[in-house]
């Protein structure tokens, strides 16, 4: 939620957001039309959030979710910030809007939706789950840490998972204490997984060619050894915990 006073404002946010999300569909359409008329009159003076509302109204006409822009932080990660990440904490609302992203998710069977979707919506369930905290932005948006010349580590503030990005050769190997899934999202690499019992980088493990869409599962204690991309550039992502 938009940055403010944390738990002190929880009752007010709960009441306001609950009233909004439970609004009748006809009232939502009427209010959306009046809002869009006012925003259209502002022209080039519209704020980024107001531009977003106009886009959402076009993509999801009449959807109450467009009004969530007034309650949630609008986070934009530009091309120059390629190592930024967003951690979607439990019971915090989020909406992915556009762009390419690598998503890593802990095991869950309770994804609940309430707007900006064609899928099933359960408004009451969502409203009952939310924390209504509005002081968590600094904890939810972070930057990856380059832990080796071609390795960036994305570590959220939980123990459920960690993600590594590899953008070049890792001849010494990236040691993975736990089981891991490695996926290639671009380029072509030669990779192999060195067992924990093997000490030298050149020993052990069958070599594989990793290209766009390739995925590999490795057991705990393996080290991922990566040769230079044969295409000149590319990226691998490793999900583990």
What is the helix (H) or strand (E) element at residue 27, kind and residue range?
A: helix 25-42
The residue from 29, 38, 113, 235 that is catalytic is 113
Handedness of CA 104, 210, 150, 200 (dihedral sign): positive
CA–CA separation, 104 and 84 (whole Å):
14
Quick check: is 113 catalytic?
yes
Closest of 183, 192, 190, 186 to residue 227, by C-alpha: 190
Enter the tokens of residue 83: 């190592």
What residues act catalytically? 113
């Amino acid at each position: 939620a938009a940055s403010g006073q944390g738990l002190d404002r929880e009752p007010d946010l709960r009441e306001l957001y609950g009233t909004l999300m439970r609004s009748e569909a006809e009232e939502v359409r009427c209010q959306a039309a009046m809002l869009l008329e006012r925003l259209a009159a502002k022209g080039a003076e519209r704020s980024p959030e107001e531009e977003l509302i106009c886009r959402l109204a076009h993509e999801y006409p009449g959807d109450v979710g467009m009004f969530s822009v007034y309650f949630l932080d609008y986070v934009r990660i530009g091309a120059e910030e390629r190592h930024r990440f967003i951690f979607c904490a439990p019971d915090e609302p989020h909406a992915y809007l556009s762009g390419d992203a690598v998503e890593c998710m802990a095991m869950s069977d309770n994804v609940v939706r309430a707007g900006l979707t064609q899928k099933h919506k359960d408004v009451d369930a969502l409203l009952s789950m939310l924390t209504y905290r509005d002081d968590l932005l600094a904890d939810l948006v972070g930057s990856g840490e380059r832990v080796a010349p071609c390795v960036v580590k994305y570590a959220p503030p939980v123990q459920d998972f960690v993600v590594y990005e590899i953008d070049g050769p890792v001849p010494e190997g990236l040691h993975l204490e736990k089981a891991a899934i490695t996926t290639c999202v671009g380029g072509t690499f030669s990779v192999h997984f060195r067992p924990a019992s093997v000490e030298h980088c050149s020993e052990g493990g069958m070599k594989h060619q990793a290209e766009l869409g390739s995925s590999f599962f490795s057991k705990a204690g393996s080290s991922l050894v990566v040769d230079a991309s044969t295409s000149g550039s590319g990226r691998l992502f490793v999900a583990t915990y």
